[in-house]
Structures are given as structure tokens and as C-alpha cells.
Amino acid sequence: MEQYPERRIASADQISMLARLLAPARRIVAFTGAGISTESGIPDYRGPGGVWASGAPPTLDDFLRGEEMRRAYWERRRVNYPELASRHPNRAHRMLARLERAGRLSGVVTQNIDGLHQKAGHNPDRVIELHGSAHHVRCMTCGTIWDADVIQQRLERDPGVPECERCGGVLRTTTVLFGEPMPAAPLRRAVDLARSCDVMLVIGSSLVVQPAAQVPLVAQQAGARLALVNRESTPLDPLAELVIAADAGPTLAAVERLLFENGLQPGGWQTGQK
């Protein structure tokens, strides 16, 4: 069931304004949240029917508290991961990947753990996952990283709490849990990108979770032009040059057509194959 059945469509003026804002840019950074993936069938967190609407987010303490919590965590994972792994990028993800192929996008800073930016064709080195990834599992003792598919196969053969095959340690996905400090290196990379971009394009985030939500602010304060595409208002709206309260997929697809196919080509937009 589509989480947001009622469409919110940007006006032709808004689409034209976003295309004109992007057209001369050479160092665009996209900052994305769960809202960019709802059209791919992955619910967001704070929207109606979002993930947190059906229960509080798991915290690091919950996970460490004991075997029962970990058993529940891995059982949910065993059931839910195949569906997440089967999801595909949508028009918004594909448009950003095309901006990268056209040499205009320096990177994507995402709060998402779904891996859809990489699936859309970005150079993985240009995707900064601030909150980790659902597609990797790490041993909390020896630090070994496992591919999620490998662990999923073990879970399907032998449901329960998988242990690290190397040291017997506790395994968990590399996603950042509430109450856990965000890994410093990705955040540092994201802030460096934000400081040197000419346009910060925020897509599908409520911008309420810190310190991630600082990244677009750093860009704006460093002089970048700030544009937001989000169904709801956000705390950064007053600082943005352009706010489009509409669905990301159709909005970015329309901007892509203007930039690449309908002749708004100042600054020599390459065709940037689709």
C-alpha cells in the first residue's frame, strides 16, 4: 500500500525555478532522507504510517540489553530484509545519478540505509551513508563486516541470533541505532562536501535528526544555494532559496527533462545518458 496516496505536484514555475537553480551549478550536493525512497515502497519514519508510527525506534541499549531483544531484532530482520533488498530506485534517485554522470554532482549525503542511491548507479565512493547501511552486518567484537545476504542465508537456514563466525561476537547491522553516536568519519566527509558545494539540494527529509541535519545548514552558511524538495515544511525552510512542498519523484523527473532534454542547457549540460 502506497504510504502517500494523495499526490503533491510541484507547479511548472517551481520546476522551472529548480532547473534554473541547478543549471549553472557544478558542485551540487544532494542531502536525502527517507522521503526520497517512499515512492520505492519504503516507508519513511515520521510521516503518516511511517516506521516510528508503529513503535519506538530500537536503541543501542535495547540491543545490548540481552538475548531476548537481539532475538526479536534478528527475527524482524529475517522477515523484513528480503523485501528491503528487493526495492528499486525511483525517478528521484535516477535523476541524481544522472547529475553525477553529467559531472555536476559532487556527492550524495544520505540518512537512508536502503542502498538505493548505489543501486541507481552512483559511484559508491560518492555516497556518504551517515546512518550506516542495512546491507552490511558488523561484529561488535572483532569488527568484521559481513555482506547482509550472507547473514540472511544463515538466518533462513537457522533462525535465531547469528554470531560472528570469526570470533563468536555479537552481530548487528551497520545502521546507527538511537542512543548511539554517529560514526565520525562519514559526518566529517559530509561536512567537507557541504562546505565546498555550490548548491545543496535537500530531498525527502524532515531535517529534525541531529547532527545529520547540520549538513545542509553548513552548506548554506558557507554560501551554497539551498533548495528543498519535501512534502512537509522543515526547520530549514526559512533559510532556503527555494522550497518545493511536493513529491520528489515527479518533481525531479520534470527538472531532469528541463535540464537534459528540453533545451535549458546553459553552461553546456552534457546529454548525460539516461
Please tell me whether residue 187 binds ligand APR under the rule CB under 6 A. Answer: no
DSSP H or E run through 77: helix 67-85
Q: Provide Rg for the chain, Cα atoms.
A: 19
Q: What residues numbered 58-87 form the site for ligand APR, per CB under 6 A?
A: none
Please tell me whether residue 232 binds ligand APR under the rule CB under 6 A. Answer: yes
Give alpha helix (H) positions in the chain.
12-22, 60-65, 67-85, 91-101, 116-119, 148-157, 184-196, 214-221, 248-256
Please tell me whether residue 205 binds ligand APR under the rule CB under 6 A. Answer: yes
| 228, β-bridge pairs | 202, 243
CB 213, CB 32: distance < 8 Å = no
Amino acid at 212: A
Please tell me whether residue 247 binds ligand APR under the rule CB under 6 A. Answer: yes
Query: Could you give the CA distance from residue 7 to residue 140 in angstroms, rounded to a whole number?
Result: 42
Q: Which residues are known to be catalytic?
A: 131
Please tell me whether residue 2 binds ligand APR under the rule CB under 6 A. Answer: no
Compose the 152-181 pattern: x for residues touching ligand APR by CB under 6 A, - for all others: ------------------------------
Please tell me whether residue 46 binds ligand APR under the rule CB under 6 A. Answer: yes
**Given the C-alpha cell 547532527, which residue does it identify?**
211
Query: Could you give the CA distance from residue 199 to residue 234 in angstroms, rounded to a whole number?
Result: 18
Please tell me whether residue 186 binds ligand APR under the rule CB under 6 A. Answer: no
Q: Binding-site residue total for ligand APR (CB under 6 A)?
A: 24
Q: How far is the CB of 57 from ligand APR (least distance, A)?
A: 6
- By CB under 6 A, which span of 15-23, 72-80, 149-157, 199-207 interacts with ligand APR? 199-207
Measured from each CB, the residue nearest to ligand APR is 35
| DSSP code for 58 | P
Please tell me whether residue 236 binds ligand APR under the rule CB under 6 A. Answer: no
Please tell me whether residue 44 binds ligand APR under the rule CB under 6 A. Answer: yes
User: Which residue in 94, 117, 138, 231 binds ligand APR (CB under 6 A)?
Assistant: 231
Please tell me whether residue 89 binds ligand APR under the rule CB under 6 A. Answer: no
User: Which residue in 40, 174, 206, 220 binds ligand APR (CB under 6 A)?
Assistant: 206
Give the orientation angle of helix 214-221 with respect to helix 184-196, to 10 degrees. Answer: 30
CB 269, CB 260: distance < 8 Å = yes
- Residue 220: name the closest of 243, 240, 191, 193 by CA: 240
Beta-carbon count within 10 A of 205 CB:
29
Beta-carbon count within 10 A of 59 CB:
14
Comparison of 46 and 101: residue with beta carbon closer to ligand APR = 46
Amino acid at 171: L
Please tell me whether residue 248 binds ligand APR under the rule CB under 6 A. Answer: yes
The contact set with ligand APR (CB under 6 A) reads 4, 33-35, 38-39, 44-47, 50, 57, 111, 131, 204-206, 208-209, 230-232, 247-248
